[in-house]
A and B are shown apart, each in its own frame.
Chain A
Amino acid sequence: MLFGRKQKNPIKIADKGVVDWKYTTCGYCSTGCSIEVGLDEKGEAVATRGVSGADVNRGKLCLKGIYEHELFKLEGRGETPLIRDKYYEAFEKTNWDTALDKVSDEIKRIQETYGRDSFAIVSTGQIMTEEFYTLGKLARGVIGTNNYDGNTTLCMSSAVSGYKRSFGSDGPPGCYEDFEHTECLLAVGSNLPEQHPIIFWRLKQALEKRKFPLIVVDPRVTMLAQMADIHLPVTPGTDLALLNSLAYVILDEGLEDKAYIEAHTNGFDDFYETVKQYDPVSASKICGIDEDTIRNVARTYAKAGAAMTIWTMGINQSTHGSDGVCAINNLNLVTGNIGKPGGTSLSITGQCNAMGTREWSSCSGLPGYRTLEKEEDRETIANFWGIDKEFFPKKRGLFQTDIFPAIETGQIKGLWIIATNPMTSMSNTDRIRKTLEKLDFLVVQDAYQDCESNQYANVYLPAGVWAEKEGCFTNTERRVNLIRSVIKPYADSKPDLWIFNQIAKRFEQGQKIKFPETSSGVFDELRTLSKGRMLDYSGMSHDKIEQQRGIQWPCTEGDEQGSARLYTDGKFQYPDGKAKLLALPFIDNNEVPDDEYPFWMNSGRVVEHFHTRTRTGKVGNINKFSPTPYMEMNPDSAKELGIRHGSYARLTSRRGDAVVMVQLTQRVAPNMVFIPFHFHDCVNRLTLGLLDPHSRQPAFKQCAVKIELAVDQHTAAERNKEARSF
């Protein structure tokens, strides 16, 4: 005691009474943090903490992970299956058998009436790899629809497409450890502090040990942009011109790695011809970055012993997202920065298991990075599953973003949505609403029955969430990590794996194929199917993964550990082993602001929320940081429109309108606004979402809007509130 009481009371500090910590992997983003859930005496999940010995997060967690134990008991969890004839009727509770019978009967009826492809499946990046593989087996091998895709089309499709086009296969070649080796880091449309805080921490750790230039391309002054040595506030949607120009300077000044280009790439001549059109003067007119800065950045990048590029949705969610990825790959190929420590093209992935779905879900083809287009792949999988290879289509079907228009025009009559919420996540909300109304049959499988897409479901299947189940996630750096089942699924909800298996049993062909009941049983199939391939899992097992806190593929049978990088030998997945330098002319098809719609509208993530807030919107201690949507707007532009800080504004685009609270900040340009994408009935009422020709990913981040003060602030506040059920 210095001051205060002589007679001290005992100090009381909250003690949650954790008696047991269980190992698992975070279920939010794709950073892939190892996490332990603390259980109290009653077996309730009461705490979470980062696993110290895990290489990815080294004991740290972001705020979402810190509160992840609250997920299990959030409001809106589905308790039992629900059923109804028409979407505008009230749901009735039902049992699993009735619900599953209804689902399988409807699938059969629709397929028999309208053809196999008239029933579509839209999956996710949220469930476990073993579940993805099983769903793929069910969709491709049993139900046999070719209109089967995942919501990764909204986030990583351009990265997948770009990797495939450049390197002959999907698969991010780098890892977080590259931060420790790189001599220059270029971040294009990636805001680590907000989107991937733990990856930012790894970067920051590396920078504290050894300073290297950080160059950030972003139209907004994000925290990463603010910390950058060079910030390039690029004109929205023009990064391809900038990237081409960087390549121009490198080639023009002879800074390229000629030996690497010669030995490991094809297509240089065509590439060079196109790049020639993007001299810094011409490019500066397109992308808004001055020629000196372009030259400076290009030189800094090319002269670094090892340089790496990371990107996220700033590249992926644009009309030329796939080209943008290829342009980044071009940059790294001409400078010899692929497959070496600190030199890489690393797409920073979004969902916890977006990588797992790319690898194993068969959405874009067949499991294990196999394609429908290759007869050999069709044959391998058909034989392995024990079905006729002719059952498989010879070409991939529709992407998620094409499935919805196909519902609109009547080719698709039935839809199964799994752990994704297009009513909030897809552009042009009103159009999606009308689209879902047109379905003959919609089944929604989700942990949360209050997810907005469920408004149109005929059957709702309550799924277990995250660590109520067991299985693997693959993270951004190809690290396969394990989710142990920590507690039982809530109420009468069931693991997705169980649901898929039960539906398979209801089909004749499903009874012929083996559907392992346990997650580890499924994992054995992955090991077999991946043996000798790029994504080799054969050296892994669930226990070994837990022991090592995640293993990076490839990990071949007999290998003690995984592999940090791909293409270290410069051999790529194209038949001749060479990567492709691609000619990527920039065509400006963006909805550019004009007199009528004078503002660029940009959308993106905030650190406290995940996707459509079905989880984070209910965790008070994180939701409170942005409990309602807001718009960042430049105070100078707001002044002209009479819009005040903290008031409501109405935005209108060619699609619809939205009401949103205004936060005035110089973080955004006078002709641009930014709105977080997480909120229902908000920003996606405005977005155009023009599709990338290769990846079919929507350009969420670029469209034109007009803004006015919401004249009646009270009504605006009411409208905003009514749109928030959580």
Chain B
Amino acid sequence: MFKVRDDEPDYVFLSDTKSPRKNQYGDDIELAKKGDGLTGKSLNINGDEGVSDYPDRYKQHGFYFNADNCISCHACESACSEKNDLPPYLAYRAVGYVEGGTYPSYTRLNISMACNHCDDPVCLKGCPTRAYTKFAEYGAVLQDPDICFGCGYCTWVCPYNAPQLDMEKGHVHKCNMCVDRLEVGLKPACASACLAGALDFGVTETTPENRDQLKTQIPGFPTPEITHPNIRFQQTKTLPKEMTRADSTDIKYQLNDKKDAFVPVINESRANKTKHWNLKKLLSSHENAHIAFTLSTQTVIGAFLIFLYSQYMGGSTLGAIAEQARYPILISSFILMSFGMLKLNLHLGRPQRFYRGFYNLRHSPVSREIAGVSLFFAGMSGFIFFGFFDNAFTHFMAGLSAITAILGAAVGTYYMYKLYRIPARPFWDHWQTATSFLGTTMSLGGLFVLVASMITLQTSQIAPVADKLLLIILAGVLLEGIGLLGHAHSMKHAQHEGALSHFEQKTKYGKSYLLRNALLLLSLTLAYLAYQFSMSYELLLTMISILTVVTIAFAIIGRALFYVLVIPTTMPGAFFWRNKGFEEHARETGLADMPQTGVLPDGH
């Protein structure tokens, strides 16, 4: 048990307060009742079998933050990092701020934030490995690094930047609510360390002494609708109508028309409006593995489905593909898919734990995606394997494998899309993600088969095959294009971080964006021309070669833009700490080579 001192000051003890039955979201505050099997158990902290007799042990606890009072002295952050023995490059609790007004009528609003141990923990639901548990004890949402395989999906879905992907250690870790302190009646280290009467802790929905409000929102804090976070605020002082972030994200929070909430809008006066390529940054991000994985998987799924169609329902024209292009298509599909999956696996912090990806089929779209894609891969592999033999059994097995692959493709594609519908990542949380994934499946899948056919089929067989495939490609590119138009329109008029993502798409990556759009149009035109007009073999060959290059290029740039542009709905950072811009700068200049800069250098 955590050791309590004889003369511990009053302010560190959890206080007895009456709490309502339900919280403001309508969720129960009492999480377990005597006799329901959840109470009276040890939390087994560091092997200690003790059980606390604290009467509120089974009530949802949470932080209370008085935003009027925070001075950004970093005591809470430091107390947390010290207690949890954290390296300088990450923290469970961070203080960021927003500021507004004009000198000297200036206001800075500091926000100290850790995990909010939410009623609806999206981290827990998203985690494919089931590394997360929401405990009946205190309602703590705890994550077990020994289970985690370091995919970082929880860091995508959490709106509060609570889970920390430790690139050095290869797993995530996060705020543990100091349950060891709670078990002996002490508030967490951070709340005990607060020097300004800002941070407090207790049963959620209770107002600490000398405080009045139980707000669920303050400017800079993401909407509580996503996760029902267990944090309550006091913020009584009138704020300027616009509060600007100090980190490199050009977002400001503007009082809405109803004057009841602050909404994120682009900070036009600060944002850089010139158009750049930024190709290097675009194509060398940590998310490259995802680009490789999604594009290759979608291509292979598309190609394989077309192949199956051509084998079983292709008739005389498409049937030629199954007959003559069988091995080139199947073997290269197998290789491409293996490459994509390997890339994805290697980008995990702990690749050797890849098998844990299926652990959370009940909640996690990532688990379901992995399951679907694996099923597809298994089905496709089976289909290829049994195709080497020629008897009734192998024919049956090949058919079964094909059905498995189709099922896997459906589930995998759907959840591959679904997993990006993250409310805290508004740039992705749009139907365009579906049109893009489906469009790519069609266009790259179709191209894949077309190229293979061009290589293997006889010249005379090509025109009718190409005709059908070009239609699929054309439809795919068109679908992608329609999605992008809809997406751009939504983002442009959005009142969320997606608007800034789109703005950066047109500025920071403006030239790359224009190139992608031009390539898409070119691809569309080429596919249309090749489909519409009959032409000589040589011309067709030329056109398809160009189409292939153009389509692959726009798919890669497009997908890279998709990943690099996302700006999460999350807590504002400070000028140095939790500032993406500074982190990049520190890496580029080599400041990050000094560990005390608090930024991990490149190569991680």
B179→A644 contact, CB < 8 A: no
B315 CB-CB contact with A under 8 Å: no
With A12-B46, A617-B596 as contacts: A622 and B135 at CB distance below 8 Å: no
B106→A627 contact, CB < 8 A: no
- Please choose the segment from B75-83, B155-163, B551-559 that sits at the chain A interface, where 4 or more of its residues have CB less than 8 A away: B75-83
A13→B179 contact, CB < 8 A: yes
A67 CB-CB contact with B under 8 Å: yes
A587 CB-CB contact with B under 8 Å: no
Q: Which residues of B contact A53 (CB under 8 A)?
A: 7
B193→A66 contact, CB < 8 A: yes
Chain B window 591-604, contacts with chain A (Cβ cutoff 8 Å), 1 for yes, 0 for no: 10011111100000
Q: State in angstroms the CA–CA spacing of A193 and B77 once bound together.
A: 15
Q: Which residues of A contact B134 (CB under 8 A)?
A: 1-4
With A66-B79, A67-B78, A644-B272 as contacts: A14 and B133 at CB distance below 8 Å: no
Q: Which residues of A contact B192 (CB under 8 A)?
A: 59
A4→B133 contact, CB < 8 A: yes
A651 CB-CB contact with B under 8 Å: no
Q: State in angstroms the CA–CA spacing of A646 and B586 once bound together.
A: 12
Closest Cβ neighbor of A716 among chain B residues:
B589
Min CB distance B470 to A, Å, is 48
Q: Which residues of B contact A9 (CB under 8 A)?
A: 144, 146-147
B78→A66 contact, CB < 8 A: yes
Min CB distance B100 to A, Å, is 8
B45→A2 contact, CB < 8 A: no
A622→B142 contact, CB < 8 A: no
Q: Which residues of B contact A208 (CB under 8 A)?
A: 197, 210
Min CB distance A600 to B, Å, is 13
A624 CB-CB contact with B under 8 Å: yes
B88→A200 contact, CB < 8 A: no
B9 CB-CB contact with A under 8 Å: yes
Q: Which residues of A contact B461 (CB under 8 A)?
A: none
With A2-B135, A16-B85, A645-B270 as contacts: A52 and B9 at CB distance below 8 Å: yes
A634→B103 contact, CB < 8 A: yes
Q: Which residues of B contact A595 (CB under 8 A)?
A: none
B577→A62 contact, CB < 8 A: no
Q: Which residues of B contact A225 (CB under 8 A)?
A: 104
* Contact pick for A666, options B101, B135, B145, CB 8 Å: B101
Q: Which residues of A contact B595 (CB under 8 A)?
A: 620
B45→A233 contact, CB < 8 A: no
Closest Cβ neighbor of B248 among chain A residues:
A646
Min CB distance B15 to A, Å, is 15
B514 CB-CB contact with A under 8 Å: no
B581 CB-CB contact with A under 8 Å: yes
Min CB distance B131 to A, Å, is 8
Instruction: Among B125, B178, B196, B599, find the residue whose CB has the most chain A CB atoms closer than 10 A.
Output: B196
B87 CB-CB contact with A under 8 Å: yes
Instruction: Among B75, B147, B591, find the residue whose CB has the most chain A CB atoms closer than 10 A.
Output: B75
B180 CB-CB contact with A under 8 Å: yes
B350 CB-CB contact with A under 8 Å: no
B73→A197 contact, CB < 8 A: yes
Closest Cβ neighbor of A66 among chain B residues:
B78
Min CB distance B107 to A, Å, is 6
Closest Cβ neighbor of A717 among chain B residues:
B589
Closest Cβ neighbor of A623 among chain B residues:
B596
Q: Which residues of A contact B83 (CB under 8 A)?
A: 14
Min CB distance A626 to B, Å, is 6
Instruction: Among B31, B74, B79, B581, find the residue whose CB has the most chain A CB atoms closer than 10 A.
Output: B74
Classify the secondary structure of B's interface with A: loop
A3→B363 contact, CB < 8 A: yes
Closest Cβ neighbor of B245 among chain A residues:
A645
Q: Which residues of B contact A720 (CB under 8 A)?
A: 589
Q: Which residues of B contact A385 (CB under 8 A)?
A: none
Q: Which residues of A contact B248 (CB under 8 A)?
A: 645-646
A608 CB-CB contact with B under 8 Å: yes
A52→B5 contact, CB < 8 A: yes
B277 CB-CB contact with A under 8 Å: no
B103→A197 contact, CB < 8 A: no
B12 CB-CB contact with A under 8 Å: yes
CB contact list, A1-49 vs B, under 8 A: 1-5, 8-16, 47-48
B103→A4 contact, CB < 8 A: no
A204→B197 contact, CB < 8 A: yes
A678 CB-CB contact with B under 8 Å: no
B546 CB-CB contact with A under 8 Å: no
Q: State in angstroms the CA–CA spacing of A513 and B597 once bound together.
A: 49
B596→A624 contact, CB < 8 A: yes
- Please choose the segment from A518-526, A557-565, A667-675 that sits at the chain B interface, where 4 or more of its residues have CB less than 8 A away: A667-675
A721 CB-CB contact with B under 8 Å: yes
A63→B75 contact, CB < 8 A: yes
Q: Which residues of B contact A1 (CB under 8 A)?
A: 38, 133-136
Q: Which residues of B contact A14 (CB under 8 A)?
A: 83-85
Min CB distance A209 to B, Å, is 9
B44→A52 contact, CB < 8 A: no
Q: Which residues of A contact B31 (CB under 8 A)?
A: 2
B196→A201 contact, CB < 8 A: yes
* Contact pick for B594, options A621, A622, A726, CB 8 Å: A726
A-side interface residues, number (CB < 8 Å): 77
Closest Cβ neighbor of A662 among chain B residues:
B575
B596→A665 contact, CB < 8 A: no
With A3-B121, A717-B589 as contacts: A621 and B576 at CB distance below 8 Å: no
B574 CB-CB contact with A under 8 Å: yes
Q: State in angstroms the CA–CA spacing of A14 and B176 once bound together.
A: 10
Q: State in angstroms the CA–CA spacing of A547 and B30 once bound together.
A: 45
Closest Cβ neighbor of A64 among chain B residues:
B78
Q: Which residues of B contact A670 (CB under 8 A)?
A: 103
B594→A5 contact, CB < 8 A: no
Q: State in angstroms the CA–CA spacing of A717 and B587 once bound together.
A: 12
Q: Which residues of A contact B88 (CB under 8 A)?
A: 620-621, 623-624
A669→B74 contact, CB < 8 A: no
A90 CB-CB contact with B under 8 Å: no
Q: State in angstroms the CA–CA spacing of A703 and B24 once bound together.
A: 54
A503 CB-CB contact with B under 8 Å: no
Q: Which residues of A contact B575 (CB under 8 A)?
A: 626, 630, 663
Q: Which residues of A contact B133 (CB under 8 A)?
A: 1, 3-5, 8
CB contact list, A638-686 vs B, under 8 A: 639, 644-646, 663-670
A625 CB-CB contact with B under 8 Å: yes
Q: Which residues of A contact B69 (CB under 8 A)?
A: 204
Chain B window 1-40, contacts with chain A (Cβ cutoff 8 Å), 1 for yes, 0 for no: 0000101110110000000000000000001000000100
B130→A667 contact, CB < 8 A: no
A226 CB-CB contact with B under 8 Å: yes
A60 CB-CB contact with B under 8 Å: yes
B272→A193 contact, CB < 8 A: no
Q: State in angstroms the CA–CA spacing of A635 and B106 once bound together.
A: 13
Q: Which residues of A contact B124 (CB under 8 A)?
A: 3-4
Q: State in angstroms the CA–CA spacing of A620 and B75 once bound together.
A: 15
CB contact list, A454-513 vs B, under 8 A: none
B99 CB-CB contact with A under 8 Å: yes
With A67-B82, A666-B99 as contacts: A3 and B44 at CB distance below 8 Å: no
With A1-B136, A2-B136 as contacts: A221 and B596 at CB distance below 8 Å: no
* Contact pick for A62, options B44, B125, B195, B197, CB 8 Å: B195
Q: State in angstroms the CA–CA spacing of A115 and B235 once bound together.
A: 66
Min CB distance B456 to A, Å, is 51
A226→B597 contact, CB < 8 A: no
B101→A607 contact, CB < 8 A: no
B246 CB-CB contact with A under 8 Å: yes
Q: Which residues of B contact A569 (CB under 8 A)?
A: none
Q: Which residues of B contact A204 (CB under 8 A)?
A: 69, 195-197
CB contact list, A594-632 vs B, under 8 A: 607-608, 617-628, 630
List 6 A-B pairs, Cβ < 8 Å. Answer: A10-B47, A59-B12, A60-B75, A198-B195, A625-B74, A646-B581
* 5 tightest A-B CB contacts, nearest first: A624-B598, A620-B88, A4-B133, A193-B71, A63-B78
Interface, chain A (partner B; CB < 8 A): 1-5, 8-16, 47-48, 52-53, 58-63, 66-67, 193-194, 197-198, 200-201, 204-205, 208, 221, 223, 225-227, 231, 233, 607-608, 617-628, 630, 634-635, 639, 644-646, 663-670, 717-718, 720-721, 724, 726
